Amino acid sequence: MIFVFLAVGILLGFTMIMCLYRLIVGPGLFNRIAAAGAISTKAMVLLIVVGFIIERPHFIDIALMYAVLNFIGTVIVAKYLLRGELCLPST
């Protein structure tokens, strides 16, 4: 069973490298943001797989916190791209 987790981990690492290429070379800003989101999602899944391999269930909690931070970061970047600033000036 551990060989299955190792194979999944290797495949996730390979797909993260492909997303990293899209992040660096991407044709536009939105493709780069999508690649960064994909990398962080794959890193979260890879963290869970590593937790199963080394038999540490605490990694699931760490992965959940990483998912929350990823969501907050994506919302902040989307808000910045939409408005051009993070906070509206008070009038």
Amino acid letter for position 62: I
15-71 residue pLDDT tens: 999 999 999 998 888 888 888 889 999 999 999 999 988 988 888 999 999 999 998
- The distance of Cα 71 from the centroid of its chain, to the nearest Å, equals 9
pLDDT value of residue 76: 85
Q: Domain residues of the chain, as ranges?
A: 2-83
pLDDT in tens, 58-88: 889 999 999 999 989 888 887 888 777 767 7
Q: What does the pLDDT read at residue 91?
A: 62
First to last CA, the chain: 62
DSSP per-residue letters across 11-76: HHHHHHHHHHHHHHH-SSHHHHHHHHHHHHHHHHHHHHHHHHHTT-THHHHHHHHHHHHHHHHHHH
The pLDDT assigned to 13 comes to 92
Does the predicted TM-score (pTM) go above 0.75?
yes
